[in-house]
Structure 1
Amino acid sequence: MLQAGVQFGKVAVLMGGKSAEREVSLMSGQGVLTALRARAVDAHAFDPAEQSMDELKRQGFARCFIALHGRYGEDGTVQGALELLGIPYTGAGVMASSMAIDKVMTKRVWLAEGLPTPRYALLHRGHYTRNEVRTIPDELGLPLIVKPVREGSSLGVTKVMGYSQMQDAVAAAAELDADILCEQFIAGDEVTCPVLGEGVSARALPVIHIVAPEGNYDFQNKYYTDDTEYRVPCDLPPGEEAAIQALVLKAYRVLGCRGWGRLDVMIDAATRLPYLLEINTSPGMTSHSLVPMAAKAAGIDYETLCLQLLAGASLDYAPAVEPRA
């Protein structure tokens, strides 16, 4: 069992921030803060939207637990600031964070490595015509998904059922991001699989099968209702869970992630082939969140999970240890 307390020093739980996911981040951060304090960690809430990052150094924080979601927290910006301050932090480093939050960049890396992900088209706000938008279903088929490239929690996501919905769907995504992802819809089972660790030592937690009302796993059904069913242990056919775990581990590793992450996957109902959707490098830690759920199924309670993640806090550019004379 991990020992808590003094060896961690003074710990900042970064929560809130300036992204569209601020409210979810506050819920995640409060859960982490309570868990760490319950294990005798000297943990304190720190909101980068309300205090300068310089205050972390001035106030003597020894490490940070990042419970920020979305931009200005999960995209490499906060990670870069912490690298400059020399304060170890949880989760992916600067490059992995900046790649992983960008759904298109993530797809490009996965495709380059031969990993399956749905076909897509990319639009740039202010640089597309109505006709270009109208004809995207000709390329990707219907239904299809439209979403901002750099948002999470299903914000700005639309399932487009017909040509007449395309313009409004693209406009909704463009309100949140300058880049809009139009993605092939994979009909089938929606699953998610968290990963803990780094490199060859990384391991996949149990797969969760998500069964949302009418197949709509949106912001409301993620955080504010109890109508979504989470099947863990999952009810997939024999061998599929292990195959998905192997796939997400490779997807996690090729992006250079560390600490933890959660990868979302669709399984084609007709072929049973899995398709990687995206990766979250600072997953939710709310009462409805999936990483704690999968960890619990693996025998890791919420407090222990938080301690393990904190123990793994590190820097991309850690000072070299001078050899002893």
Structure 2
Amino acid sequence: MAAGSGRFPRVAVLMGGMSAEREVSLVSGRECAKALREAGYQVVEVDAGPDLVVQLSEIKPDVVFNALHGRWGEDGCVQGILEWLRLPYTNSGVLASALAMDKARAKEAYRAAGLPIVDSVIVAREDVEKGHVLPPPYVVKPNNEGSSVGVYIVHPGSNAPRLADSMPARVMVETYAPGRELSVSVMGDRALAVTDILTEGWYDYDAKYKPGGSRHVLPAAMPAEITAACLDHALRAHRALGCRGLSRTDIRWDESRGLDGLILLETNTQPGMTPTSLAPEQAAFCGIRFPQLCDWMVRDASCDR
């Protein structure tokens, strides 16, 4: 079947939205729309807002390419709307999306699958500000945001953190996992590659999205057994959460501990989708060009699994 000429000729690309990751989503959406047009599809770009149902009812797409990031776009909310409208859509379904976005419940799924994680608790933000709820070093972050939005690292000897007013009433506090920042993308039932992410500080929002904020080493230079374990962990995380389509799992590796130094951080069911984002970079490393990747995602779209 030629791209754009068969089952899904008309594609609505959802982007923007109302989350803290709106600007990143706009970039992802525009790049995906451009790639899908190159692949032969009819594409309508949709800045997803409260009138999304009306917009989609007017557009009448054959498939929806979900390029939204953050809350509402990747936590099962938009996925539920698309299920109700019976519109096939890319990437994970309602349950997997909600589960992956809820960091505490995702960790429960990892633990049940025998995957390595650090200790964590969900506590009231005022308790975090009163005193250390875990021995430093530890990390404080929202339980349901992505792109390192609202993340605090508390070092030994530091006072309890003063959190921004935008932080939710309850937050996750987890033991800090030292080591190299690694990332593995999964495409369907295949783990693609391991990227080593190099930054001057830690991998925060600016490091992820600002020019020069980080450098990607692909493939990561490390022992073959560590590479194999990272690929295995990412694929098992994808399956444990019930993901479909494309996902990306972030991992920390403390080299001094060998295989025991691998720790899963989280799985992203809506990875960044510019040609230089981590998942498309890994696909390109495996010989899959960006338009081919977007085409595959459209062909993989569903509202029944």
Common fold by TM > 0.5: yes
Contact persistence 1:29–1:68 (CA under 8 A): yes
Which residue pairs with 2:267 in the alignment?
279
For 1:226, the equivalent position in structure 2 comes to 212
**Equivalent-residue separation in structure 1 for 2:228 and 2:149 (angstroms):** 30
Counterparts of 2:292 and 2:187 in 1: how far apart (Å)?
13
Q: Tell me: CA distance 1:187–1:120, structure 2 relative to 1, closer, same or farther (3 Å).
A: same
Q: Does the aligned pair in 2 maintain the 1:284–1:291 contact within 8 Å?
A: yes
Q: CA 1:228–1:254 in 2, change beyond 3 Å: closer, same or farther?
A: same
Aligned positions of 1:1-325 closer than 5 A? 3-7=2-6, 8-49=8-49, 51-125=51-125, 128=127, 130-131=129-130, 134-138=131-135, 142-162=136-156, 164-168=158-162, 171-172=163-164, 175-197=166-188, 202-214=189-201, 216-272=202-258, 273=260, 274-316=262-304
> What is the aligned partner in structure 2 of residue 323 from structure 1?
none
Change (3 A) 1:264 1:125: same
d(CA) in 2 for partners of 1:275, 1:54: 43
Distance in 1 between residues matched to 2:293 and 2:275, nearest whole Å: 14
SS in 2 for 1:207: strand
Comparing 77-86 and 223-232, the one that deviates more: 223-232
Aligned equivalents of 1:165 and 1:11: distance in 2?
A: 51
Measured against aligned partners, the alpha-carbon deviations of 1:74-103 in whole angstroms (never above 9, x if no partner) come to 000000000000000000000000000011
In the alignment, the residues of structure 1 paired with residue 272 and residue 194 of structure 2 have an alpha-carbon distance, to the nearest angstrom, of 16
Tell whether the 8 Å contact from 1:24 to 1:286 is kept in structure 2 after alignment.
no
Q: Distance in 1 between matches of 2:276 and 2:40?
A: 25
RMSD (CA atoms): 1.7
| Superposed displacement of residue 235, structure 1 | 0.2
Q: Which runs of 5+ in 2 are unaligned?
A: none
CA apart distance, 1:227? 4.3
How many angstroms apart in 2 are the aligned matches of 1:227 and 1:13?
27
- Cα 1:163–1:182 change in 2 (3 A) is farther
Q: What percentage of residue pairs aligned between the two structures are identical?
A: 40
Following superposition, the deviation at residue 130 of structure 1 comes to 4.6
Deviation at 1:220, TM superposition (A): 1.0
The alpha-carbon deviation at position 286 of structure 1 amounts to 2.5
